[in-house]
């Protein structure tokens, strides 16, 4: 029975963990990401989070965590374990999950503008920080996004400092943006979506790319 007046019925679960002594791993991942940035050069860009070109705009065309490389595999195992732990803590029993992942490489004041990963399939999302200096990610309460025409109504934002080796998991519907990348610095992250109801044949995304994998 609900009481009269204000009731805060639900909280929004976030999960944070860190990969211990991540320096070596992050250095190796940085090399992999710089290589794929070159390798994906010919792929079509799709505007996303305010970006019109660069690695992030190729997100639809590959599954980062499936790249055959031992450091990528190490990260994949870490992420899978943390996602399982997140679900366990939430009491969720999920047996048929899929995932897609991609890398972001921002430079010289670039930002990821406010966006969410909500879609018909995405269930939870996450980000792992490979390389970052003095940056943070701002997450917005869903209520703030429900006021038509008011883009910047962000009364209840939560700012989380980005730390190299840090992993943040959050529901895909949570809108977020980055603070500007420092001058002369690169901000490199790996982001991913965990899909609950698989798209079409399970393995293709809406861009007709076969990049979705079984979790
Ligand atoms: Fe994002």
pLDDT exceeds 80 at position 11: yes
Question: Are the C-beta atoms of residues 188 and 103 closer than 8 Å to each other?
Answer: yes
Comparing 150 with 169, the larger pLDDT belongs to 169
Query: What is the CA(59)–ligand 1 centre distance, in A?
Result: 11
Q: How confident is the model at residue 35 (pLDDT cuts 50, 70, 90)?
A: very high
The model carries a pTM of 0.92
Q: What is the pLDDT at residue 151?
A: 66
Query: What is the CA(111)–ligand 1 centre distance, in A?
Result: 11
Which tens digit of pLDDT belongs to each residue from 86-136? 999 999 887 788 999 999 999 888 888 888 898 778 889 999 999 998 889
Query: What is the CA(184)–ligand 1 centre distance, in A?
Result: 23
Query: What is the CA(4)–ligand 1 centre distance, in A?
Result: 37
Level-2 CATH architecture, domain 15-40+48-200+209-214 = Sandwich (2.60)
Which tens digit of pLDDT belongs to each residue from 52-83? 888 889 888 899 999 999 999 999 999 999 99
Could you tell me where the DSSP H helices lie in the chain? 23-39, 70-90
How far CA 93 is from CA of 69, 85, 145, in Å, comes to 30, 11, 29
Degrees, nearest 5: CA angle 23-116-6: 110
Three-class DSSP category at 153: coil
**Domain residue spans in the chain?**
15-40+48-200+209-214
Query: What is the CA(167)–ligand 1 centre distance, in A?
Result: 13
Question: Are the C-beta atoms of residues 182 and 175 closer than 8 Å to each other?
Answer: no
């Amino acid at each position: 029975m609900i009481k009269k007046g204000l009731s805060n019925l639900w909280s929004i679960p976030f999960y944070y963990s860190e990969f211990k002594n991540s320096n070596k791993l992050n250095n190796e991942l940085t090399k992999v990401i710089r290589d794929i940035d070159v390798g994906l050069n010919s792929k079509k860009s799709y505007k996303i989070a305010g970006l019109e070109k660069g690695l992030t705009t190729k997100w639809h065309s590959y599954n980062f965590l499936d790249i055959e490389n031992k450091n990528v595999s190490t990260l994949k195992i870490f992420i899978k374990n943390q996602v399982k732990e997140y679900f366990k803590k939430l009491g969720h029993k999920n047996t048929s999950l899929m995932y897609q992942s991609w890398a972001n490489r921002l430079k010289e004041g670039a930002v990821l503008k406010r966006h969410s990963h909500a879609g018909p399939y995405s269930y939870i999302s996450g980000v792992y920080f490979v390389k970052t200096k003095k940056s943070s990610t701002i997450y917005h309460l869903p209520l703030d996004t429900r006021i038509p025409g008011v883009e910047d109504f962000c009364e209840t934002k939560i700012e989380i400092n980005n730390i190299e080796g840090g992993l943040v998991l959050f529901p895909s519907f949570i809108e977020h943006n980055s603070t500007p990348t420092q001058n002369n610095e690169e901000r490199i992250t790996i982001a991913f979506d965990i899909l609950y109801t698989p798209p079409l044949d399970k393995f293709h995304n809406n861009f007709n790319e076969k990049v979705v994998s079984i979790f």
